[in-house]
């Protein structure tokens, strides 16, 4: 992880946002699958899997968003 990252948040599919601790340049986050509607459509499995993942946001020391990524 870049030394520029000062804060990380994880937003769950149900909208809860939590701070992710950073220690010695590393972070660990976990997610719990919440059952939702069955997948449908052409890309159903990949869309369904993505909809269950937390969204990670990485910020610098001044609070500027550096990157957004999907956990998983």
Confidence (pLDDT) at 31: 64
Give how far Cα 67 sits from Cα of 2, 63, 64, Å: 11, 12, 9
Reported as a single tens digit per residue, the pLDDT across 1-10 is 688 999 999 9
Confidence (pLDDT) at 50: 56
Reported as a single tens digit per residue, the pLDDT across 20-40 is 999 988 888 776 666 556 666
- Note the pTM of the prediction, 2 decimals: 0.71
Query: Nearest CA to 7 among 70, 64, 58, 65?
Result: 58
Scanning the structure block, which residue is given the tokens 């520029």? 4
């Amino acid at each position: 992880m870049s030394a520029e990252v000062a804060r990380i948040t994880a937003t769950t599919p149900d909208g809860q946002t939590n701070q992710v601790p950073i220690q010695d340049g590393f972070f660990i986050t976990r997610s719990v699958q919440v059952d939702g509607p069955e997948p449908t459509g052409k890309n159903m499995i990949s869309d369904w899997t993505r909809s269950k993942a937390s969204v990670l946001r990485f910020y610098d020391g001044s609070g500027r968003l550096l990157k957004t990524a999907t956990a998983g």
